[in-house]
Amino acid sequence: MQRLFSTFAHGWPGNGLLLLRMLTGVALIHYGIVDLRDAHQSASIAPQIIAAGAGILLLVGLWTPVTGVVVALAEVWIAFSRPGDPWIRIMLAILGATLAMVGPGAWSIDARLFGRKHIDLSES
């Protein structure tokens, strides 16, 4: 993960990324639940389940670059395979791609697992 991002944004940019991840994750989970309740209308619910699972990973900030790509692909699949207005799905695909490119920020599990570690030499 350090190869993808030299730093994990903190401060205002990190807070903005947290809000972006939360908005995207909650929307993906919401639409996944709605689609599962209306499963009789849809022949294949696999992309909705994938997107909702990815929403959970985005909420906690785990594997954000990979999860963002999965969200983008799943939402494009949903947008062009289901009848109706595709714009909310296209918006979620763009948000997923954005998170894949920008990264998770400091308030994420990715930052805790893969962020740079500070070595305190004063304790030796």
Q: Residue 27's domain spans which residues?
A: 11-113
Whether 4 is in a domain gets the answer: no
What average pLDDT does this structure show over 59-78?
95
Q: Does 43 fall in a domain?
A: yes
Question: Mean pLDDT, the chain, as a whole number?
Answer: 87
Taking every pair of Cα atoms in the chain, the longest distance, rounded to a whole number of angstroms, is 65
In a domain, 41, yes or no: yes
Residue 50 lies in a domain: yes
Tell me whether residue 123 is in a domain.
no
Q: What is the pLDDT of residue 117?
A: 62
Residue 3 inside a domain? The answer is no
Angle (CA) 55 61 65, round 5°: 85
Considering the entire predicted model, what is its pTM? Answer: 0.84
**How confident is the model over 10-66, as pLDDT tens digits?**
789 889 999 999 999 999 999 999 988 877 655 688 899 999 999 999 999 999 999
112 pLDDT band, cuts 50/70/90, is: confident
Q: How many domains does the chain have?
A: 1
- CA dihedral in degrees (78, 84, 86, 92; nearest 10)? -60
